Every structure is written in structure tokens, then in C-alpha cells.
Amino acid sequence: MTATAQQAGRPRTTRAPRRLPYLVRQLITLLVTLFAITIVIFGLTAIAGDPARDILGQYATDEQVVAFQQLHHLDQPVFVRYFEWLGGVLTGDLGTSYQSNGPVWDVISPRLGPSVVLVLLSWVLTVVISVPIGLWSGVRLRGKRDASLTFVTLIVAAFPEFVLGLMLAILLGVWLAWLPVDSTAVSYGGLFDSPSAYVLPAITIALGTIPYIIRLMRANAREVASETYVRAAVLRGVTEPSLSLRHILPNAAPPVVTALGLQFAGLIGGVVVAETLFGFPGMGQLLAQSAASRDAPVVEALALMIGALFVVANLAADAIVVYVTPKLRDAVR
Amino acid sequence: MSADVLNTVTAADVSLPKQRSLRGFLAIPQGGFGVGLLLLLLALVVVGPFIAPDSPNEISDQPILGPSAQHWLGTDSYGRDILSRVLHGGASVILLPLLAVSAAMVVATLVGLVSGYLGGKVDSVVTWVINIALAIPSYLAVLVVVAAFGGGGAVVVTAVAVVYAPYITRVIRSATQAIAPREFVLAARARGESLGWILFREITPNIGPTLLVEIALRFTYAIMFIASLSFLGLGVQPPSANWGVMVAQNRALLLVSPVGVLVPALLIGVLAIAVNLIADALTQFFGDRIHERLMV
């Protein structure tokens, strides 16, 4: 399939081809991907056509429609609008919301803090719960108990987040009444004034990714545990926490790190659903509300911010994997 | 994500079709249990509308009643009988994901076969598009589409099909690449068979197991995804009776009558579990390892 190199008939030289340093190549990938994301995001809204009539409602006069189009520059060609938007994004101007008629940034900014705290919390929960369980079950668990753990992860993985969240809300919020079923409290007072309001959304989001990470960690730990150097370590008299933590975990971790970066995409869905379910005043709830009310500028800005975060998280995960894996570390030099 | 993950699949990861019986499949615990659950749910969805006491949008009693002999699951905030809505609300939960997955499968199979078999420039372009598409989180893409085109069943089905197609293409392309260098394909090529013959008569039957696993897995994801979108108010629109919509609407009754929210929510969960169990059993049954390799 890639026969061109051989066909050219050049003698193979021993000198390695000149390549840009790994990090520079990754940065170029990042910029190209981000650029593609802006085109997809903007292109989709452009294909959909003029939203003025849909947003103003069927009783809007023609003058109102024209005024709306002028306010949001909808009367200009798509390319002009795209570069205006891109230029605005680069200079920190995210545009004007269709619904509030104010700057998009003012709509988004109060929701940044709570969402960041929520995502970090659920991400930490995911790692703290799934990595030890996965490692332990991969190394130690066999037979029936192993099969039942796999079965449980399979079942939890097939529950959509809103169903999991509802079950938690009914159990912990209604029957046991330990936690509030509504997280609106977060929007009043400081970021950490109502810690209990974070708990249910955070667990719900984490439960969406935990089964997946457990299974991956388990599979990798099992594979590494059967390697000869692990058996050699056992014969040398290395005993348990050290065997799992120092000999198995470092070698089983790289794919899990990649997955934790990739799972950021899974977290997005979880955040949107959990925030909506619990009335949590964050970016996910805003995203769902703005999509429903067809507030394209807000959705575009949020999608771009979250998309950028996702791309960066993936590259960071890639870089971490490369620098913790000796084989790969030498290969990218 | 990175491109090298696309090159790690070998012929050993593609399971070849062998003589296997349905009984053997059902003997796998996940398989038997999954098929049983799915049949039960299908029965509920098909028979449900005929045995429902009321029509789904009929206001039959006082609003917000708890469970009683007359209304087993109570009534919602409009006074509609929740049991009747549950019995009517399953069809779209199953049909919309089925449509989305079918559409995505058709496109992705064609593109995946062609790009995996032909390689070269075609493959480079396809891989490039796949890598860009995979860099955009599914939820974001679908929400942008809904913001642009408005919500509703048709928009959501199209959006989910478009978003899933690259993922499926990736799997089928890898499977095709693993099969393409094998002797029977080379023999067909030497005989001078047409491209269509080689793709559909030589390669497709041999990636059949991978296709089946992929369909089952994607169907699980699509059920969860589209139900979640309906829950968010972006998919099936009220007043349609749909389990996802019902969860969103009856959420307000959470503190008064949790059963009315719990039952439609659990039914969605059980449906997704049934299909997911079948997907898992298919993976075991065929010894498919592509999905593990590609981390999907």
C-alpha cells in the first residue's frame, strides 16, 4: 500500500529523517485540529440558514427580523461572518447572545467556576475509585468474583447518566434525605458555600466513566501480571503492595492514561446531563438550554471552549504516556 | 486518538466465521440473559399500546396522584395516567437509535471497506477526516447541530448517525485491512474479480462478526445517547409519550411520587443493558478483539 518509498529506488540511508521535535509536532496537530473544530462548529450553524424567524417567533414583523439580522450580522456573507467570529474569538470577544442580547462572555462567565470544580471533582473520583479497583481485580481477582465484577461494570456502563443520577437522587436525596436533589444553591454565595450540592452531580458524572476505566485497568493489569519480569519479581520475594504498585501499575498505566484523556469527551456528556438533572448552574446546563433555545453564539462559544479543552487534554495524555514509557520516549527523540 | 492506534490491528484480531450455533450463543450467560431481557422489553413495547388503560395524552384524573389501584404508577402534572404513557412510550426509544445506527452502518461500511482495501490516497483522506471527526466530542457536535437546526427526532437521528459514522468506519477499515492481504482475497484479485465482488463477496463475509459486534455496541450507545437527548429536551418533543421525555417531565414530581420517574428511567436502563449484554456476548462468542484494540 505504501509502496512509493520503495518504488523511488533510493538506497536506504542509516541517517534518521529530519523531524521536528515531538512537542512542536504535537502543537501543530493541536492548532490544525482546533482550526478544523472552528470550521465544523461555524459551518454547521451556517448551513442551517437564518435563525431569525425561528427565534423571534411567527408573530415577529419583517422590521424586527431585519433588525435582528443586522444586530447579529446575519445579513453578511458566511465567510465574512466566519472571520469576524474567529477574529473576535482570538481577541476575547465571543459575540452577542441571541437570547440575552448581551455579550456571550457575560452569559458564560458566572458558570465557569462551578463547572470546573464539578469536573475536577468527578475526574478525581473516577481515578481514585477505578484505578485501585481495576488494578486489584486484574492482579488478584479470579473466577466467579471476577466475573461478577465484570458483570456489574457492564450493567453500570449501560445505564445512561440521567438514569443513574435519578436513582442516586431517589436513594440518597428522597429516601435517605442525606443530600439535596437540587443543586441550584451553587449559584448563590461563594463557590464552596454549598458543598453538598456538588456531591450528587459529581458521583453521577464519575459513574459514567468508572466502569470503563475499571475494565481497561483490569485488562491491562492482568496482561502485565503474566509477564516474566513480574514472575521474576515474585520469585525474588517482592510482596504485595510493592508488586502491584511498583512492578505492575507503571507498566499497565499508559493505556489508562490515554483513556482518561479520551474519557474527557465522555465527561462532557455526563456534565451536560448531570447539570440539567440536578439544576446545577454550570456550563453543561447552559449548553443544553442554549441548544434548546437555539442560541447559536452561546453554543458555538461553549463548544469551542470545551472542544479546545478536550484536544488539550488528549495531547497532554499522549505526552504523559510518551514520557512515562521508556520505549516510546526514545522513539520520539 | 493518535493515528498509530489505527495500525495496530492484525489478522489475528479478526475472528473468522466458523460453524457456531445459536444455542452456543445463548449458553453464554450474558447472551441468554440479554436476549431474554430484550424479548421481554420488545413484547412490552409491541403489546403495550393495546393493553394501556388510557390513550397517552388523555387527561384522565387529578394531576400528581400517587400510585393507586386505578393508576398503578400515578398521574403526572397534567393528570395523564403514567402507566399508559409508559406502555406507549417505548417505540421511539428503540426505533430512533435503530434508524441512526442503520444509516451510520451503511455509510461507514462502504467507506471503511473501500478505504481499507484500496489504501493509498483514498485511505489517507479517509483517515484524515476520521482523525478530525474523532477529535470533536460527540455531545458537542450533536448539541451544535441541534442549536443550528432545532431539536426533534429527525434532526437528532441524522446528527447521531453522522457523529457515529467515523467511529464505525474506523473499526471496519481496520478489519478490512487485516483481511485484505489474505490468500483468498489475493486469489480473487488474481482471478480478475471486480472491486464490488472482492469487497462484498470476499471481505464482507469475513468481517461479519466484527460488523455484528459493532452494530450491537453502537446500538447500546445510540439508545443511551438519544434517550439522554430526549431527556435534555432536544430529541423527541413533548407531548409525545417517550421514556426520556417522561423522565424530564416527571422529574418535578421526584419528591412527591418517585415511581413515576423511576419506571421510565429504569426501562431505558434495562433496554440499554440488554443490548449491551448481547454486544458483550457477541464479543466473547466470536472472539472479537478489534474493539479492545481500538479502545471503543
CA A307/CA B136 separation, integer angstroms: 6
Note the ipTM here. Answer: 0.79
In the predicted model, is pLDDT for residue B40 greater than 90?
A: yes
pLDDT score at A16: 53
Query: What residues form DSSP beta bridges with B81?
Result: B75
CB proximity list for A250: less than 8 A, separation 6 or greater = A324
Residue B45 near residue B94, CB atoms below 8 Å: yes
User: Residue B83 corresponds to which cell in the numbers above?
Assistant: 402507566
pLDDT band at B169 (very low <50, low <70, confident <90, very high): very high
In the predicted model, is pLDDT for residue B277 greater than 50?
A: yes
In the predicted model, is pLDDT for residue B2 greater than 80?
A: no
pLDDT band at B1 (very low <50, low <70, confident <90, very high): very low
pLDDT tens column, A91-100: 878 788 887 7
Quick check: A167 and B123 CB within 8 A?
no
In the predicted model, is pLDDT for residue B4 greater than 70?
A: no
Average the pLDDT over A297-307 and give the result.
86
CB proximity list for A37: less than 8 A, separation 6 or greater = A303, A304, A307, A308, A311, B135, B136
User: Residue A97 corresponds to which cell in the numbers above?
Assistant: 447572545
Full DSSP string of A42-77: HHHHHHT---HHHHH-TT--HHHHHHHHHHTTTTS-
Q: Which residues of A touch B273 (CB under 8 A)?
A: 154-155, 158-159
Q: Which residues of B touch A41 (CB under 8 A)?
A: 144
CA A71/CA A65 separation, integer angstroms: 10
pLDDT tens column, A245-266: 777 787 777 778 777 777 776 6
Q: What distance in Å separates residue A18's CA from the closest CA in chain B?
A: 20
In the predicted model, is pLDDT for residue A205 greater than 70?
A: yes
Average the pLDDT over B252-274 and give the result.
86
pLDDT score at B110: 93
Q: A–B: how many Cβ contacts below 8 A?
A: 165
Exposed, middle or buried: residue A209 (CB in 10 Å: 0-12, 13-18, 19+)?
A: buried
Q: Considering chain B, what is the average pLDDT of its residues?
A: 83
In the predicted model, is pLDDT for residue B160 greater than 90?
A: yes
CB proximity list for B159: less than 8 A, separation 6 or greater = B141, B142, B145, B146
CA A253/CA A198 separation, integer angstroms: 29
pLDDT score at B107: 95
In the predicted model, is pLDDT for residue B42 greater than 90?
A: yes
User: Of A18-32, B6-20, B156-170, B206-220, which has the strongest mean pLDDT?
Assistant: B156-170
Full DSSP string of A103-157: BHHHHHHHHHHHHHHHHHHHHHHHHHHHHHHHHHHHHT--HHHHHHHHHHHHHHH
Name the residue among A167, A292, A306 with its Cβ closest to that of B140. A306
Residue B60 near residue B79, CB atoms below 8 Å: yes
CA A316/CA B78 separation, integer angstroms: 50
Q: Which residues of A touch B292 (CB under 8 A)?
A: 219
Average the pLDDT over B122-143 and give the result.
85
pLDDT band at B274 (very low <50, low <70, confident <90, very high): very high
CA B137/CA B274 separation, integer angstroms: 26
Name the residue among B143, B261, B276 with its Cβ closest to that of A291. B143
Quick check: A166 and B261 CB within 8 A?
yes
pLDDT score at B15: 60
CA B216/CA B275 separation, integer angstroms: 6
Quick check: B140 and A307 CB within 8 A?
yes
Average the pLDDT over B116-140 and give the result.
85
Residue A244 near residue A135, CB atoms below 8 Å: yes
Q: Which residues of A touch B233 (CB under 8 A)?
A: 288, 292
Provide the 3-class DSSP secondary structure of residue B57.
Answer: coil
User: Residue A37 corresponds to which cell in the numbers above?
Assistant: 473544530
pLDDT score at A256: 81
Identify the DSSP state of A181: S
pLDDT score at A5: 43
Of A15-24, A116-125, B33-42, B190-199, the poorest mean pLDDT is in A15-24
CB proximity list for A225: less than 8 A, separation 6 or greater = A138, A139, A248
If one counts every other C-beta atom within 10 angstroms of the C-beta of residue B171, the result is 26
CA A294/CA A149 separation, integer angstroms: 43
Residue labelled with grid coordinates 448551513: A47
In the predicted model, is pLDDT for residue A215 greater than 70?
A: yes
Query: What residues form DSSP beta bridges with A103?
Result: A96
More confident call, A224 vs B158: B158
Quick check: A160 and B228 CB within 8 A?
yes
Q: Which residues between 19 and 78 in chain A have a beta carbon less than 8 angstroms from any beta carbon of chain B?
A: 33, 36-37, 40-41, 44-45, 47-48, 51, 54
Q: Which residues of A touch B139 (CB under 8 A)?
A: 265, 268-269, 272
Average the pLDDT over B213-229 and give the result.
90
Average the pLDDT over A172-200 and give the result.
77
Establish if A1 touches chain B: CB-CB under 8 angstroms. Answer: yes
More confident call, B146 vs B59: B146
CA B248/CA B251 separation, integer angstroms: 5
pLDDT score at A1: 40
User: Of A43-57, A69-83, B260-274, which has the strongest mean pLDDT?
Assistant: B260-274
Identify the DSSP state of A12: P
Instruction: Give the best residue of A56, A144, A166, A278 to mutate against chain B (max B CB count within 10 A).
Output: A166
Identify the DSSP state of A186: G
pLDDT score at B296: 55
pLDDT tens column, A103-140: 888 888 888 888 888 888 998 899 899 888 888 887 77
Quick check: A170 and B234 CB within 8 A?
no
pLDDT tens column, A219-233: 888 888 777 887 788
Quick check: A33 and B119 CB within 8 A?
no
If one counts every other C-beta atom within 10 angstroms of the C-beta of residue B221, the result is 23
Average the pLDDT over A279-291 and give the result.
88
Angle at B114 between CA B113 and CA B117, to 5 degrees: 80
Q: Considering chain A, what is the average pLDDT of its residues?
A: 79
pLDDT score at B80: 83
DSSP alpha helix (H) spans, chain B = 22-27, 29-51, 82-88, 91-118, 120-134, 138-149, 153-179, 183-191, 195-197, 208-231, 243-250, 259-286, 290-293
Tally the C-alpha atoms within 13 A of residue A238's C-alpha that lie toward its C-beta. 15
CA A18/CA B67 separation, integer angstroms: 73
In the predicted model, is pLDDT for residue B225 greater than 70?
A: yes
pLDDT score at A48: 72
Quick check: A158 and B280 CB within 8 A?
no
User: Residue B258 corresponds to which cell in the numbers above?
Assistant: 418517585
Name the residue among B148, B247, B292 with its Cβ closest to that of A162. B247
A310 vs A184, A316, B44, B93, B225, CA distance in Å? Answer: 26, 10, 40, 29, 19
For B120, nearest residue in chain A (alpha carbons): A1
pLDDT band at B202 (very low <50, low <70, confident <90, very high): confident
CA A285/CA A295 separation, integer angstroms: 13
pLDDT score at B12: 65
pLDDT band at B6 (very low <50, low <70, confident <90, very high): low
Q: What distance in Å separates residue B259's CA from the closest CA in chain A?
A: 9
Q: What region, left, alpha or beta, does residue A50 occupy, with left being phi > 0 and alpha being psi -120 to 50 degrees?
A: beta
User: Of A328-332, B80-84, B135-139, B154-158, which has the strongest mean pLDDT?
Assistant: B154-158
A37 vs A85, A86, B154, B296, CA distance in Å? Answer: 13, 11, 24, 22
Average the pLDDT over A157-177 and give the result.
85
Quick check: B275 and A158 CB within 8 A?
yes
Name the residue among A160, A262, A272 with its Cβ closest to that of B224. A160
pLDDT tens column, B82-111: 788 888 888 888 999 999 999 999 999 999
Instruction: Give the best residue of B121, B136, B138, B245 to mutate against chain A (max A CB count within 10 A).
Output: B136
Q: Which residues of A touch B224 (CB under 8 A)?
A: 158-160
pLDDT score at A2: 43
In the predicted model, is pLDDT for residue B8 greater than 80?
A: no
Establish if A167 touches chain B: CB-CB under 8 angstroms. Answer: yes
The alpha-carbon radius of gyration of chain A (Å, integer) is: 25
Establish if A311 touches chain B: CB-CB under 8 angstroms. Answer: yes
pLDDT score at A218: 86
CA A135/CA A245 separation, integer angstroms: 9
Q: What distance in Å separates residue A14's CA from the closest CA in chain B?
A: 23
Average the pLDDT over A6-18 and give the result.
50
Instruction: Give the best residue of B232, B262, B277 to mutate against chain A (max A CB count within 10 A).
Output: B232
With CA atoms as reference, report the closest residue to B176 among B3, B17, B9.
B9
pLDDT score at B267: 92
pLDDT band at B7 (very low <50, low <70, confident <90, very high): low
Query: What residues form DSSP beta bridges with B80?
Result: B59
